[in-house]
Amino acid sequence: SRTEMNIGVYEYRDGVQQVYCTERIPQIFGWTDEETAYYTGNRVHLYTFIEELRRSRVVGERNVYRIPGEPDRYIKLEETHEESSVFGVVNDVTEDMQRRMQIESERDTDPLTRLYNRRGLSRRVERILEAGTGDTYAVVMIDLDDLKEINDTYGHESGDQYIISAAEILKKIVGESGLTARHGGDEFVLFLEEKSEEALQEKLLQLKNAQDSSEAVLHDGQHVPLRFSMGCCFIDEVAAPYDEMLEKADIAMYQNKRQRKEKHGKQPRMKE
């Protein structure tokens, strides 16, 4: 507590209700005096707080979380579990995270859709896999079906809006638990991360349902159908590097595109 480093420490033990902590812990977590008394007076209360904190994990970062209710503040939390006690070290890493996120955002973001670009996605996926959270993963390759026709019929400005609409739809489905990226042109890549295979399958079902039921809003406000083909690769299917997972998802996507063309044929769009 005498140093200038913004680090706090807490400890609780079996058979002892009270939580011991340095004075920096309430400061880092932003607790009021009443909250400090509540969380340090009963170790169950602190345990519940920490579990809620873990649900705000920063994707691609090891042991880094957002403070509940304060999305712009980040802490790094590491716990050591011994036979009869838990020892936690908390470090406020807000400044470092914000500085790094600003640099990475400018370098790793697609300027049209504000999604990750190819480089940004690859870097974050590598971090996630290296951290080894134990979650279930899948890579999904997406290819828009009719971008050329949109460009030819409505113009390239509308083509850009078609891509932007697709980005918004895909990002909404993926949610905060995964990553959404534009690989370039009309290709998107999704990295899905869920706690269970059931949750992952539900996310994939949402994507399948969106394949033929979505709409894009063009620059003049006109609504047109938005269609896409998709292919998926589960990480446990290949036990291989990310680029090999991506290749398998790409192959599956082109198979899906051929099947969709055979089933539905080409339905030309007419400008109204």
Residues 133 and 83 in one domain: no
For the segment 128-148, what is each residue's pLDDT rounded down to a tens digit? 887 766 678 899 999 999 899
Q: Which residue has the tokens 């920096």?
A: 24
Out of 97, 122, 137, a domain closes at 97
Q: Clarify whether residues 175 and 247 are in a common domain.
A: yes
Q: Looking at the whole model, is its pTM more than 0.85? A: no
Q: Quick one: angle between helices 94-108 and 118-131, nearest 10?
A: 140
* pLDDT level of residue 196 (50, 70, 90 thresholds): confident
CATH number at residue 50: 3.30.450
**176 and 120 in a common domain:** yes
86 phi/psi in degrees, rounded to 5: -125, 130
- Last residue of one domain, picked from the residues 76, 97, 118: 97
pLDDT of 2 strictly over 80: no
Answer left, alpha or beta for residue 196, where phi above 0 means left and psi between -120 and 50 means alpha.
beta
Last residue of one domain, picked from the residues 35, 68, 97: 97
Q: Are residues 54 and 167 in the same domain?
A: no
Each residue's pLDDT tens digit, 39-95: 999 999 999 999 999 988 887 788 999 988 887 899 999 999 988 999 999 999 999
Q: Residue type at 202?
A: E
Is there a single domain that holds both residue 117 and residue 217?
A: yes
Question: Do residues 187 and 85 both lie within one domain?
Answer: no
Q: Is the pLDDT of residue 152 over 80?
A: yes
207 and 113 assigned to the same domain: yes
Which range of residues forms the domain containing residue 21? 7-97
Same domain assignment for residues 113 and 92: no
Asked if residue 136 belongs to a domain, the reply is yes
Residues 37 and 131 in one domain: no
Instruction: Return the pLDDT at 238.
Output: 45
Q: Residue 17 pLDDT more than 90?
A: yes
Report how far residue 43's alpha carbon sits from residue 11's, in angstroms, rounded to the nearest whole number.
9
| 127 and 76 part of one domain | no
